[in-house]
Amino acid sequence: MSEAKHSTYSYFPGCTLRNKALDLDRYARSSAEALGFTLEEIPDWQCCGGTYPLAKDEIATKLSSVRALAAARDAKQDLVTICSACHNVIKQINNDMQTDDNIILKVNNYLKEDKIAYHGETKVLHYLEVLRDVVGWDTVKAKVTHPLTGKKIGAYYGCLLLRPGKVMQMDDPENPKILEDFITAIGATPVMYSQRNECCGAYTVFEDKTIPQKRSEKILANAEEQGADLLVTACPLCRYNLVKNKGKSRLDIVYFTELLAEALGVKDKVPVGMEAAYAAK
């Protein structure tokens, strides 16, 4: 959105970043302060549902995302997400609200009661896109005080950050480099491995733990063979599945924001306005 103030963003943390993935949220906020942009949490945001509703006649399951998108539009801000699932769901629903007349009509009919009319005006950015496209890798590099020199890091994209590529438009879905560029910017060495954009098994962990187990073992073995010391991810469920199925693998699996905060020297800093949530840590 052209009139958007690029230093302040509407921020949709999502259910997991305010619960089990506090580190992903906390280090994103403190790193944003260090890099000079502000994340303003959308008031009363509602969970995105975790999985994009693929069925064309699913309307109610899209409303929470549209409410967040409309709130960002009304604040004249771009909408920033960090969790891969939130990003995937909200960006795909924003695309529906730009392109699918049937969904646009029915969603807006539902939202009349909330006095919301929305037609896909908001720009949705992943935190990594803010780093790449607004802050810039050179600036990130310049602000690094504790470079992770010598660390060999595998980027684990998983599925939701990149696909479907035509809608997500973050990077080349089959040959991405945004996380590798991130790893380079914080002073570490990216390690390439073929499983970096294949699925971890996702929510099937809820029903059949052998699916994420088989997937995770394959991903970890592949990254280890290629020489990685650790993996970075933006997705709490990827991290959960990989950590739970680590077995004898030497790899740690960490959120990209934790490494960013470490490199920027702000890992111990409590983000402004978040004292109650993070002071105890």
Residues that bind another protein (CB under 8 A): 14-16, 19-21, 47, 49-58, 61, 83, 85, 158-160, 163-165, 173-174, 198-199, 201-208, 211, 214-215, 235-237, 239-240, 243-244
Decide whether 66 or 140 has the Cβ nearer to another protein.
66
Decide whether 143 or 215 has the Cβ nearer to another protein.
215
Tell me which DSSP letter residue 233 carries: E
Q: What are phi and psi of 123, to 5 degrees?
A: -95, 130
Tokens 């992770």 sit on residue:
148
Distance CA 216, CA 235 (A): 14
Distance CA 240, CA 167 (A): 26
Decide whether 32 or 237 has the Cβ nearer to another protein.
237
Residue 51 C-beta: closest distance to another protein, Å: 5
Decide whether 147 or 173 has the Cβ nearer to another protein.
173
Decide whether 38 or 213 has the Cβ nearer to another protein.
213
Decide whether 1 or 243 has the Cβ nearer to another protein.
243
Residue 97 amino acid letter: M
Tokens 């969904």 sit on residue:
103
Residue 159 C-beta: closest distance to another protein, Å: 4
Enumerate helices (H) and strands (E) in the chain, giving the number of each. 12, 8
Residue 108 CB-density burial (10 A; 0-12 exposed, 13-18 middle, 19+ buried): middle
Residue 179 C-beta: closest distance to another protein, Å: 17
Residue 162 C-beta: closest distance to another protein, Å: 8
Residue 109 CB-density burial (10 A; 0-12 exposed, 13-18 middle, 19+ buried): exposed
Decide whether 10 or 84 has the Cβ nearer to another protein.
84
Residue 90 C-beta: closest distance to another protein, Å: 14
Residue 138 C-beta: closest distance to another protein, Å: 31
Cα-based angle 104, 63, 212 (whole degrees, multiple of 5): 115
Kindly state the tokens that stand for 183. Answer: 């790893």
Residue 123 C-beta: closest distance to another protein, Å: 22
- Give yes or no for a cis peptide into 164 (omega within 30° of 0): yes
Tokens 């592949």 sit on residue:
222
